[in-house]
Structure 1
């Protein structure tokens, strides 16, 4: 290893010790009052396969209680009504208020088109926008590269490493809280002097310090729980002039047993985390779209351990201050035996990627050609979802 690369590695390690970030190209921090108008997108992936029927509850389905004699009773009387046909899980109180404020779009019976029921392959498919071996990058990374022709975009992943979703762009940085003690400020000053004759190394150091300072302005919370990570994500978007894209991920959605209690905790954390994200965004909320999706759904029938197994059709959410919300999207397929996919799963009626394409077209104003490069063969829907 050459000395230059060795020193560069030391620099990156020091910054990671203090803030959990990996320096690359990163935007400069600015005050919210001086920030230019941005159009933010936050991508939230729920790893493990969210159960759609326990999240967006079908109120008028006579087969629901028959298919789920235990699980249905826990959510059937939810007062978080969306319309005569659906309600939200009772713990999603903040998201329900967003719906009433016309800032949330629940979408029923969606699928990415992934044909199997493997978590890892399904997540790869969802993040890449199709078969990873064919695309070799992530749909969001390709979107950032395309949007660079329109704006000076950069992204941040609240993660230890760049997720598949963001691969394919050089304008991506990562941040994740560490348990280590912060590096002494004198070390940064000494490194700045050492690097002053090398623009690249100096810029890497300054970029890393910039992200560290943005994280510290949010209180320097080292918690790795979703609520704290979502708040940090909002702080980055609010405090930077140029970061207009972010990714969050939340695991723990694989509920083969004792689903009700486990999903109560999971959905509550999701709901509180998204509200923390909104609060941290401050005025940037009005320019933000949040996309929440999972790799596939779960069986419509509960199993013998009060859970559900890997399925097909699921649900997703599009939310934010820039969203024309207050309605449930997607075509409901029904839960009669002949309406199920392979006699066991919720039948998908729309494609997750086409909904994402719709966001890209209407929020980032990407062209049809650009969208076809980002998400091949997934045409946007002709539905106005962005204000």
Structure 2
């Protein structure tokens, strides 16, 4: 039997380390040493819109047949094409695309005009259909649609597999949050920091925390003392040194809570300002994660493009535009890519409460210096009822979101393969969203020739008529829908492989009647 002995000094060191965790939070332990790296690398900023943004009122048709379908489905919530809150039409290479942005998204429209905002149509989880916030967010955070058993976030795995990150980098990944988000779970190199100006040990008596101007001669505060206690080779001492390095590095930087002139004073803008400063201070930041909530608009969303939803879009657009403008002005934006994602979209048809319920496909926003922007990517399936009927009236997903991230990781971050980041995802043919890393420094906004907007949606395999709370594998190929179960309280119905459009409409009507009468 091995005898474990712990002398008074070791005991005190352990107590001090434990007290530090309690005072400043476990996020202090997730960082490297205090040496900064050279700024010759890319940074991905992932913005998660928690709650499921209504993408069809952010990016929507402004002309043609789909405009008619849009207005019919949303007689109150539709964004007008003229007057107050009018849509902002989007053009590519001087030609109209037939789509527009919400009238409150002028900042995003300007980035589009600059050639640095791309929009991926009908993006999302192509192999899994769910209308549960909890399931959808975990599938996306873990990067494993249909499975929540991985235990590590996709950003954590991306960081783990990231080539060319020295062990001395103090901030390879940053979550601007009060807690570690699920997409970074397992990343021992990630730092969680809600506010850099509050990132300090503040437990215990204020006068004892650190040496101050009025401290007695020879006084040594808790912050100065802890560093000298973490000199051994015990696991908790390694963690303590990492925590101390993070504290000292952040404290040495000229972080400020004062926003630059012209920035909005919202919480999201402050989050982005923290990221902008962290990039500027050259701390080796490769991945940053931010959450923006408040998008679950089941009621009182706002009629005619106004109200609550308009304010949320204005906040999102203005903050992203300020971030883009700030880093473009100083040159850092050439190596920064921002991806704006939500767990799912909303239903095409408005509900009876002046809102929208949980849906499926959604636009994905990608902006930054490396982005070949000013155009749409992916496949727009259209809003014709016959197109939407196999998906319970939802916008289908025609582009798997992992295809976007796979290209980003490969072209900009240097990942040779994404198998470790997105297990089981082998189809990652590039969409052409990003310039090669070697060309980013000199990338300038450019006009892109318009491409086709509408393609037949059946060219892309995806779940067909899947149960809204059940995972299903992609199977629709060349117009043939595979057998898929729909589960209700009174049993399971299996669909035939070939389903005619009249039968689809009949089944959809039957499904709606069952929902209305709670069968």
Deviations 1:305-333 (A, max 9, x none): 21100011111111111111110112111
Indicate the structure with greater helix content: 1
For 1:85, what is the secondary structure of its paired residue? strand
| Mapping of residues 222-301 of structure 1, within 5 Å | 225-260=267-302, 261-279=307-325, 281=327, 282-301=330-349
The alpha-carbon distance between structure 1 residues 323 and 29, as it changes in their structure 2 partners (threshold 3 A), is farther
Aligned to 1:204: 243
- RMSD over aligned Cα atoms: 2.7
- After TM superposition, give the deviation of residue 386 of structure 1 in Å: 1.5
- After TM superposition, give the deviation of residue 6 of structure 1 in Å: 2.6
Give the gaps of 5 or more residues in structure 2: 1-9, 203-208, 212-220, 260-264, 436-519
The alpha-carbon distance between structure 1 residues 3 and 304, as it changes in their structure 2 partners (threshold 3 A), is same
Contact 1:29 1:239 in 2 (8 A): no
For 1:156, what is the secondary structure of its paired residue? strand
Contact 2:360 2:394 in 1 (8 A): yes
Aligned to 2:130, which of 104, 111, 116?
A: 116
| Mapping of residues 211-222 of structure 1, within 5 Å | 211-214=250-253, 217-219=255-257
Looking at structure 1, the residues matched to 362 and 354 of structure 2 have their Cα atoms a distance apart, in angstroms, of 19
Contact 2:30 2:187 in 1 (8 A): no
Looking at structure 2, the residues matched to 208 and 162 of structure 1 have their Cα atoms a distance apart, in angstroms, of 17
Greater length-normalized contact order (CA 8 Å, ≥ 6 residues apart)? 1
Aligned to 2:13: 4
Looking at structure 2, the residues matched to 244 and 180 of structure 1 have their Cα atoms a distance apart, in angstroms, of 23
Looking at structure 1, the residues matched to 243 and 139 of structure 2 have their Cα atoms a distance apart, in angstroms, of 32
Looking at structure 1, the residues matched to 185 and 272 of structure 2 have their Cα atoms a distance apart, in angstroms, of 21
| Structure with larger Rg | 2
For 2:315, what is the secondary structure of its paired residue? helix
Aligned to 1:98, which of 83, 95, 111?
A: 111
Looking at structure 1, the residues matched to 244 and 258 of structure 2 have their Cα atoms a distance apart, in angstroms, of 19
- After TM superposition, give the deviation of residue 338 of structure 1 in Å: 0.8
| Mapping of residues 163-178 of structure 1, within 5 Å | 163-177=181-195
- After TM superposition, give the deviation of residue 28 of structure 1 in Å: 3.8
Looking at structure 2, the residues matched to 343 and 181 of structure 1 have their Cα atoms a distance apart, in angstroms, of 47
Looking at structure 2, the residues matched to 6 and 220 of structure 1 have their Cα atoms a distance apart, in angstroms, of 36
- After TM superposition, give the deviation of residue 180 of structure 1 in Å: 7.2
The alpha-carbon distance between structure 1 residues 343 and 232, as it changes in their structure 2 partners (threshold 3 A), is same
| Mapping of residues 79-98 of structure 1, within 5 Å | 79-82=88-91, 83-98=96-111
Aligned to 1:320: 368
Aligned to 1:127: 141
- After TM superposition, give the deviation of residue 63 of structure 1 in Å: 0.6
Aligned to 1:185: 210
Give the gaps of 5 or more residues in structure 1: none
The normalised TM-score by structure 1 is 0.88
Contact 1:80 1:90 in 2 (8 A): no
